[in-house]
Amino acid sequence: MSHDERASLIVALGVPVSPDLLELALTHRSYAYEHGGVPHNERLEFLGDSVLGLAVTEKLYRENPDLPEGSLAKMRASVVSTVALAVVARGIDLGRYLRLGRGEELTGGRDKSSILADTMEAIFGAVFLDSGPEVAKALVLRLLTPLIGEIDRFGATMDPKTSLQEAAAAIGGPAPSYTITSSGPDHARTFVARVSVGDIVTAEGTGTSKKHAEMAAALAAWTELDARAP
């Protein structure tokens, strides 16, 4: 990453991050495998996931004193979902800065929701290590608070396969049917799921596992059905 690119991303984030930590946060495992096993961002992602969860949980708890635990949990799941995090990542053009392996580069990895969401969490982890928990939590809330006002938009992301099944049943359609294909080496495999609800709707989704691909496909199909609703 050039100095200008790093500066541009830091401006978008609004917080300083050391060059080494920022580069690590942007390094996908596919890049690491193709460059002799250099460190990648999955440990930072693990840390950032906890920072994200705590920041959102605390905000929802304090601002919704009358909501029961179950409702708070559903709200949190919507806001911290892969789709919601990918929306945030696209909002700061995170994809342009990713360090990807050739296979991911060729298959559109810079705009894959799963990669964008994981990298966003890694960024949160890097900021936590560099500037401490309060700065990291403030970054999470600055980026994600706008989405809290759009809970319904992301509600289906909690369980898109169930949401699609319910939507199909509501219009008298058949149960969704899934097929899976995969490509790439074992260490960086990409799965593509195709889901059909009879001849009513068909959609595809990609992911780093069969489960994630099916969820992405289900969400795409559900979104299309929801858009058709009167």
Taking only the tens place, the pLDDT of each residue in 149-164 is 666 556 565 578 888 8
Query: Which is more confidently placed, 82 or 130?
Result: 130
pLDDT at 120 over 70: yes
- Which of 40, 199, 52, 226 lies closest to 140 in space, CA to CA? 52
Tell me the average pLDDT of the chain.
89
Catalytic residue among 23, 34, 104, 121: 121
Q: What is the pLDDT of residue 139?
A: 96
CATH domain 3-154 topology: Ribonuclease iii, N-terminal Endonuclease Domain; Chain A (1.10.1520)
Residue 204 labeled ligand binder? no
Kindly report, as residue ranges, where domains of CATH 3.30.160.20 are found in the chain.
Answer: 160-227
Rg, the chain, Cα only: 18
Residue 226 labeled ligand binder? no
Query: Which is more confidently placed, 15 or 82?
Result: 15
Share of the chain above pLDDT 70, in %: 94
CA gap 64, 136 in Å, rounded: 22
The two structure tokens encoding residue 8: 């541009």
CA gap 203, 221 in Å, rounded: 5
Query: Which is more confidently placed, 48 or 7?
Result: 48
Catalytic residue among 49, 63, 104, 214: 49
Buried b (16+ CB within 10 A) or exposed e, 165-204: bebbeeeebeebeeeeeeebeeebebbbbbbbbeebbebe
Q: What is the pLDDT of residue 187?
A: 74
Kindly report, as residue ranges, where domains of CATH 1.10.1520.10 are found in the chain.
Answer: 3-154
Q: Which residues 6+ apart lie within 8 Å of 36 measured at CB?
A: none
Active site residue 20: no
Task: Give first-to-last CA distance, the chain, whole Å.
Answer: 47
Residue 141: Cβ-neighbour burial (10 angstroms; 0-12, 13-18, 19+): middle
Query: Which is more confidently placed, 161 or 199?
Result: 199
Active site residue 121: yes
Residue 121 labeled ligand binder? yes
Most confident of 45-49, 73-77, 83-87, 105-109: 45-49
CATH domain 160-227 topology: Double Stranded RNA Binding Domain (3.30.160)
For residue 131, give the H/E element and its range: helix 113-131
Contact 101, 33 (CB under 8 A): yes
Q: Is the pTM of this model over 0.75?
A: no
Which amino acid is residue 153, in one-letter code? R
pLDDT at 10 over 90: yes
pLDDT at 230 over 80: no
Most confident of 81-85, 137-141, 151-155, 184-188: 137-141
Q: What is the distance of C-alpha 106 from the center of its chain?
A: 20
